[in-house]
Amino acid sequence: MSRLMYGAHVNANGIRQHYIRYGGNGPQLVLVPGITSPAITWGFVAERLAEHFDVYVLDVRGRGLSSSGPELAYDTDTCSHDVVAFANALGLEQYSLMGHSMGARFSLRAHVLHPTAPIKDLILIDPPVSGPERRGYPSKLPWYVDSIRQAEKGMTAEEMKAFCPTWTVEQRTLRAEWLHTCYEPAIVQAFDEFHAVDIHQNFRHVTKPTLLVVAGKGGVIQSEDEAEIKALCPALEVVRVENAGHMIPWDDLDGFLASLQKHFNCTFSI
């Protein structure tokens, strides 16, 4: 039986923010997806997380059903403020903040910008650690832009296979359906800020228990990156999902859930 409850909107930080709620019981968890992942595409993950959590999956501005368009700002700090404003608007208390890729960068920055927010802990899933004078992010911008432009014209799951060859038909179908909602300028700015904004400065200011989930095959976070981050934030926990690339839950959902169990002190039905 599905644990999906509903999708809804809230006005927070001056924009419409859309979210999808799963579970409804247990500790609260806010999930912030990556650069071109509308909330609905994380449904298969949220269903499993909802075994133990009250899960709120956010559409980041410029994606999905949240506010979008040329009049908005899409910089890292603005999007990070969105996250805390969203949780505050819903009256969430003592919530876990989980982010993937871009969403992990926003989650980390949200905690630093709002140190008194009722964030219980951080779960950072393979955040890009590129930045000024650092190794570049492995993915290239045309991969995102080309797929968005094709989706805007209409795209099939078979055509999406050129961009996501290892995904299931269901996953490719959903991405092909929703990718057109990713506003290209927002995606370009986020990608550019992977290289222009150094997130390492934030780790030294972390005061909450933090789990860093690393893709064993992703190439985004390497051993020297782990060492640098650990030096900045000695209390950080690091766990690797060895058989997964950057899109960890898509590559190894059970491995991803297993990587969370010690941190959360719970067991998922794997």
Element (H, E) at 233: none
- Give the C-alpha separation, 260 to 266, whole Å: 8
Q: How many CB atoms lie within 10 A of CB 90?
A: 18
- Give the C-alpha separation, 262 to 25, whole Å: 20
- Give the C-alpha separation, 221 to 240, whole Å: 10
- The tens digit of pLDDT for each residue in 1-45 reads 899 999 999 999 999 999 999 999 999 999 999 999 999 999 999
Q: Which residues pair with 10 in a beta bridge?
A: 17
3-state DSSP helix/strand/coil % of the chain, to nearest 5: 40, 20, 40
- The tens digit of pLDDT for each residue in 63-104 reads 999 999 999 999 999 999 999 999 999 999 999 999 999 999
Closest CA to 85 of 64, 108, 113, 62: 113
pLDDT at 247 over 80: yes
Would you say how long the chain is, in residues? 270
pLDDT of 218? 84
Question: What percent of the chain is predicted at pLDDT more than 70?
Answer: 100
- The tens digit of pLDDT for each residue in 180-207 reads 999 999 999 999 999 999 999 999 999 9
- The tens digit of pLDDT for each residue in 107-156 reads 999 999 999 999 999 999 999 999 999 999 999 999 999 999 999 999 99
How far, in Å, are 63, 66, 215, 246 from residue 169 at the CA level? 22, 26, 23, 19
CATH label, 4-133+198-264, candidates 3.40.50.1820, 1.10.1740.10, 3.40.50.720, 1.20.1540.10: 3.40.50.1820
Place of tokens 């899960």: 55
pLDDT of 269? 87
- Give the C-alpha separation, 159 to 134, whole Å: 34
